[in-house]
Amino acid sequence: MSKRYVIVLAAGQGTRMKSKLYKVLHPVCGKSMVKHVIDGMKEVGADQIITVVGHGADQVKEELRNDCDFVLQEQQLGTAHAVMQAKDLLQDKQGLTLVVCGDTPLLRAGTIQALMDYHIQEGAKATVLTAIADDPTGYGRVIRNDRGYVEKIVEQKDATDEERKVKEINAGTYCFDNTALFNALEQVSNDNAQNEYYLPDVIEILKEAGETVTAYRTDDFNETLGVNDRIALAKAGKIMQQRINEWHMRNGVTIVDPEQTYIDASVQIGQDTVVYPGTILKGNTSIGDDCVIGPNTEIVNCSIGNKTTVRQSVAFDSEIGATVQIGPFAHIRPQSMIHDEVKIGNFVEIKKAEFGKGSKASHLSYIGDAEVGSNVNIGCGSITVNYDGVNKFKTKINDGAFIGCNSNLVAPVEVGEGAYIAAGSTITSDVPGNALSIARARQVNKENYINKRIKKD
């Protein structure tokens, strides 16, 4: 089989994004556009992938560091000029070269494969991927002759009124015979409205040289969506969101309202888990089987075991076990480790804390920098006092301890196994195991106080 090469164009600034972030690095469902493109190309399989970088070269290289080779396009003189930067690496090679834009994140591997198969079947030197757009504004238009063969591609800015009416657009994805591509590139000029070297001009050049040039039209315009501004970015996000949600539903996840559920491409969810509306699952998150997530819940970089419930809550960078109940209205902050059968109830904030199996903090607590054993009960309103204004200190609560309501545990401090803390205590020194510790003023009742006061007045 002949060798396959891929060139990804990712050197543009993305002026129309009006952003500090380089265009191809803008995320769609948590993954940068260019990474979506590269992952698709890898699925198809290539002998070498070369990404053309320019604006934000360092950042783009960092993002794709394990994925491909790079060439630098110092000045962005157009898409043909961008491809030319790969000349030293590719021009002498025999084979097939795919060129894709880094701003078309919705392209599917299957479509690329079909484009390539068609190209080979037709014995073409160049095949362009096209689609029919309801609104083709901004795209290059595919101009066909009377017999339906592709003649050339004209850019929006160079097109006549007649040509602008054409709804078949250039997706910016092409399959070329490698040698023919680099020969034709030599002949591309920048004599056009934008004074740029246009890659689509290669089509006309090859056609005029008598080579076979074809177009492969996909039925799904959405796949070819090129993201040039934030409006297209939102559209791409919506379509990707739908794909991701459908993928999970096919795998046995119930998503009650897919329109209102936002799941990053990287997230894993087990069977029979139910996701309610308003849920946002991001980053390196994995959720087990039979969980209930949401409504209105944000989970970022967390692993969650089976049969766990997280309602109306937020959780970041933490490990959460099986059969855990979180929320409503809980906040799990980074580096927390919540073991099985734990309950973290309403208005409880957990930070950098470990909770042993079966422990509970059911209401209105702050537990930070803490190690909580198993079967500990933390009463309503209890907190760890972990910060003295300069340093943070650790609280340790051993297995089976019972922390009465509204207690302050002033760290560093340790509560022994099975110990009891009386409600309202402010604990400043260690409590031995099985002890009862009371650290508050004894109650004083002033008898008949009101009557005495009235007399005085």
Residues involved in catalysis:
363
Residue 349 makes contact with Ca ion by CB under 5 A? no
Residue 200 makes contact with Ca ion by CB under 5 A? no
Nearer to Ca ion, 228 or 284 (CB): 228
Assign 77 to helix, strand or coil: coil
Q: How many residues bind ligand UD1 (CB under 6 A)?
A: 31
- Asked if residues 385 and 360 have their Cβ atoms less than 8 Å apart, the reply is no
Residue 73 makes contact with ligand UD1 by CB under 6 A? yes
Residue 172: what residue type?
G
Residue 176 makes contact with ligand UD1 by CB under 6 A? no
Q: How many residues bind Ca ion (CB under 5 A)?
A: 3
Residue 82 makes contact with ligand UD1 by CB under 6 A? yes
Q: Which whole-number Å values give the CA distances from 79 to 9, 74, 100, 371, in the listed order?
A: 7, 13, 10, 57
> And the tokens for 42?
């890898």
Nearer to Ca ion, 228 or 268 (CB): 228
- Asked if residues 270 and 249 have their Cβ atoms less than 8 Å apart, the reply is no
Taking CB within 5 to 8 Å according to partner kind, which of ligand UD1, Ca ion, none is near residue 270?
none
What sections of 45-177 are H helices per DSSP?
57-63, 79-84, 87-90, 109-122, 161-164
Total count of residues recorded for the chain: 457
What percentage of the chain's residues is helix, strand, coil (to nearest 5)? 25, 30, 45
What is the pattern of x (binds Ca ion, CB under 5 A) and - over residues 93-132?
----------x-----------------------------
- Asked if residues 212 and 125 have their Cβ atoms less than 8 Å apart, the reply is yes
Nearer to Ca ion, 57 or 169 (CB): 169
Q: Which one of residues 102, 237, 379, 416 is an interface residue with ligand UD1 (CB under 6 A)?
A: 102
Residue 196 makes contact with Ca ion by CB under 5 A? no
- Asked if residues 395 and 412 have their Cβ atoms less than 8 Å apart, the reply is yes
Nearer to ligand UD1, 183 or 192 (CB): 192
- Asked if residues 99 and 186 have their Cβ atoms less than 8 Å apart, the reply is no
Residue 346 makes contact with ligand UD1 by CB under 6 A? no
Nearer to ligand UD1, 100 or 403 (CB): 100
DSSP result, 370-387: EEE-TT-EE-TT-EEE-B
Residue 132 makes contact with ligand UD1 by CB under 6 A? no
Residue 324 makes contact with ligand UD1 by CB under 6 A? no
Residue 27 makes contact with ligand UD1 by CB under 6 A? no
Assign 334 to helix, strand or coil: coil
Residue 356 makes contact with ligand UD1 by CB under 6 A? no
Residue 54 makes contact with Ca ion by CB under 5 A? no
Nearer to Ca ion, 155 or 349 (CB): 155
Burial environment of residue 108 by CB neighbours within 10 A (0 to 12, 13 to 18, 19 or more): middle
User: In the complex, which residues of this chain contact ligand UD1 (CB under 6 A)?
Assistant: 9-12, 24, 52, 54, 73, 76-79, 81-82, 101-104, 139-140, 153, 155, 169-172, 198-200, 226, 228
User: In the complex, which residues of this chain contact Ca ion (CB under 5 A)?
Assistant: 103, 226, 228
